[in-house]
A and B are shown apart, each in its own frame.
Chain A
Amino acid sequence: MDTSSFILQQIVNAIFLGSIYALIALGYTMVYGIIELINFAHGELFTAGAFIGVIVLTGLQSFGFVESHFVISMFIVFGLAMAYVAVLGVAVEHVAYKPLRDSSRLAALLSALGMSIFLSNGMMLSQGVSDRAYPPVFGVEGINIGGAIITNGQIFIVLLAVAMMIALQLFVHRTRLGKAMRATAQNRTMARMLGIDIDQTIRITFMIGPALGAAAGVMVGLHYGAVRFDMGFIFMIKAFAAAILGGIGSIPGAMIGGLIIGGIEVFWAAFLPSAWKDVTTFTVLILVLYLKPSGLLGESESEVRV
């Protein structure tokens, strides 16, 4: 393996990891954008998606459906996982955040932490404490570009993630609902005066964000091969860092933040002592926040809020 294929392989590794982080980070950033709340339960919603994925996929595979109808079964797996978690997301919002919408931010934050613990323990009790294996849908087959190997699974997952991000961007900027979301994010009172149904807009945000998280959960399961009730935590920390880095509240920011965090992790481990990998991720985060407190693409509070 020569240096150029080594670097190329590490770029592939970084893009793959970064896309997963970006997809999870979107959930944080959308929710924060609209109600200024860090949804700590997002990591658990992501895990719930991964679990629905493994349950559905195992079921489909037990009668050989995945082999015969690959595209349809992927559609079913992602669809069901995203739909379930979208409903769960709305339920979380209704139970834990809606009653606290007008109280202090701290109260809502604690409620979010509580929801995270509740969901995590619920999954531990219902799904068990050990790793649950994902059926091996993607093998080791892939393409070789200049010495760097990209498996079919990685191509599928990255393309799907990019498609979802483009769809989200189009939704937010090209549809009436997206416009309502942006308006609510900018000024909730004014948006309500203009006849936007705030409750509905927030509900939709809590459907889309967690659904994207669920899709990321299924992707993680498909690629890494196992899910566990507490797997959301590490991904949550990294994705949260990505959302902050990109500027929380900004959708393109979350995507760029995800890729940057993935890139730092991979390239630090690739060229420098790997023991310091996590330290570096958060050092970069601190540095960015120190130099540009609103994140890379974030708007400062005074510009947006009245």
Chain B
Amino acid sequence: MKRVVVIVMCLMLLLCVNSLVAAKTLKIGTLSPLTGPYAQDGTDIKQGVLTAVEVFGKLEGYDKVEVIPGDSACDGGKATMAANKLINSGVKIVIGAYCSSATEPAQIPLMEAKIVQITPASTNERLSAKGYKYFFRMPPRDDVQAWSTIEFLEKKLKAKTIALIDDKQTYTAGLTENIKKFAEKNNIVKIAAHEHITAGDSDFTAVLTKIKKINPDVVYMSVYQPEASKMIRQVRKLDMKSAFMSEDAVFHPKFLEVGGEATEGVYLTFAKAPDTPERKAFEETYKKKWKADSIGSYAFYAYDAGMIALAAVKKGGTAEGDALQKALRENTWQGVTGEIKFDDKGDRKLAHIVWIVKDNKYVPYWDPLTGKDL
């Protein structure tokens, strides 16, 4: 009996020693929908962060950087659970989530745990208005997006009427609210209709026929990419005459692939992509690493988020929340999505431009800031 106790003690001691000499690992969590309808974007985000970790290489002071993927499923409850799981596994940085409706509740445990969270995709303006100092956002906000949209409608398209379609989620409904707000303020573009669809549905003909009857100058699709791809095909089948416009969640190679010819002439708002050698290099690395033909739009933001997080850890010499958020905020970073400088709310100064689909490609079309064609 005594011998058994001694052996057990020895083994336990060995375990302790093992953990003492164990590699010092920096854990980065990703939070994005890996299952469910938006799994494509979620996978893009995960792969973007993994690419960043590989490209960044050795991080001083750490033996290893480990990425722990969390599944937010575009669902508040699941995102919060995944965030708690990431906190328990000891992550210091979380990159995510995708849907604003998942990011918002996941913020609470992350901010309480003083973990730096960088969202590569969620654009609802409420997220950065809560005074969380550990929260950062890569893409421009929805009020910026709505402003750009209304500018484009008024000054470039000279539209008089617009119909809005959203699917009642935090991001999509928030965006249509913003558009309504700006339209009513300027009082040039009238909201002719505001219709709703259900995320996950395939058939939108009832709502589209209703809009066809009103025949507005522009129809704004505030939905996610899977619904938009199916919707635009039905639009062409119903032979609708209005111009169609959509937003950053639809700006994905999948929209062009599934929508095919039907996507020709659709306007979309998305931040400008700088034409730098770093961006080209990233595109090549990413395509090679993941054997991909095209790169999802949010992989760029996720890659940048990963890169600046690692760079900030290197600069500050620590991944501890307070020091890391300071390092992130006080420096200006260069990324594949342009210059990254966070304001005191954690937002970047980044504006949208309007893109158009031409020959099954996204082509820069108009700049709302200058009011000039691109």
A142 located at the interface, meaning its Cβ lies under 8 Å from any Cβ of chain B in the complex: yes
Q: Which residues of A contact B261 (CB under 8 A)?
A: 136
Assembled-state Cα–Cα distance A267/B34 (Å): 35
Across the interface, B226 reaches (CB within 8 A) one of A13, A140, A228, A267, namely A228
Contact-residue size bin, chain A (C-beta under 8 Å from the other chain): 35 or more
A277 located at the interface, meaning its Cβ lies under 8 Å from any Cβ of chain B in the complex: yes
Across the interface, A130 reaches (CB within 8 A) one of B43, B202, B207, namely B43
B258 located at the interface, meaning its Cβ lies under 8 Å from any Cβ of chain A in the complex: yes
Across the interface, A13 reaches (CB within 8 A) one of B195, B196, B209, B230, namely B209
Min distance, Cβ B175 to any Cβ of chain A, angstroms:
16
Across the interface, B237 reaches (CB within 8 A) one of A142, A269, A273, namely A142
A95 located at the interface, meaning its Cβ lies under 8 Å from any Cβ of chain B in the complex: no
- In contact, B229 and A131 (Cβ under 8 angstroms): yes
B37 located at the interface, meaning its Cβ lies under 8 Å from any Cβ of chain A in the complex: yes
A278 located at the interface, meaning its Cβ lies under 8 Å from any Cβ of chain B in the complex: yes
B260 located at the interface, meaning its Cβ lies under 8 Å from any Cβ of chain A in the complex: yes
- The winner among A9, A13, A130, A266 for most chain B CB atoms within 10 A is A130
Contact with A along B80-119 (1 / 0, CB 8 A): 0000000000000000000000000000000000000000
Assembled-state Cα–Cα distance A266/B209 (Å): 10
Please list 19 pairs of residues, one from A and one from B, whose beta carbons are closer than 8 Å in the complex, sorted by A's number. Answer: A13-B206, A13-B209, A14-B206, A16-B205, A17-B203, A129-B34, A129-B39, A129-B43, A131-B40, A133-B258, A153-B237, A154-B237, A224-B203, A225-B229, A225-B260, A266-B206, A269-B195, A270-B210, A274-B196
Residue of B nearest to A135 (CB): B260
Contact-residue size bin, chain B (C-beta under 8 Å from the other chain): 35 or more
CB proximity to A under 8 Å, residues B234-268: 234, 236-239, 254, 257-262
CB proximity to B under 8 Å, residues A215-260: 220, 224-226, 228, 230-231, 233-235
- In contact, B230 and A1 (Cβ under 8 angstroms): no
Contact with B along A1-33 (1 / 0, CB 8 A): 100001001100110110000000000000000
Contact with A along B315-357 (1 / 0, CB 8 A): 0000000000000000000000000000000000000000000
B61 located at the interface, meaning its Cβ lies under 8 Å from any Cβ of chain A in the complex: no
- In contact, B201 and A275 (Cβ under 8 angstroms): no
Looking at chain B's contact residues, the main secondary structure is helix
B200 located at the interface, meaning its Cβ lies under 8 Å from any Cβ of chain A in the complex: yes
Report if A266-B202 is in contact (Cβ < 8 Å); known contacts: A1-B215, A274-B196. Answer: no
Residue of B nearest to A151 (CB): B237
Given contacts A133-B260, A224-B234, 7 further A-B contacts (CB under 8 A): A131-B226, A140-B237, A140-B239, A225-B230, A266-B205, A274-B210, A275-B168
Residue of B nearest to A154 (CB): B237
Q: Which residues of B contact A235 (CB under 8 A)?
A: 202
Q: Which residues of A contact B257 (CB under 8 A)?
A: 133
- In contact, A228 and B37 (Cβ under 8 angstroms): yes
A265 located at the interface, meaning its Cβ lies under 8 Å from any Cβ of chain B in the complex: yes
A60 located at the interface, meaning its Cβ lies under 8 Å from any Cβ of chain B in the complex: no
Report if A270-B209 is in contact (Cβ < 8 Å); known contacts: A130-B43, A225-B230. Answer: yes
Residue of A nearest to B210 (CB): A270
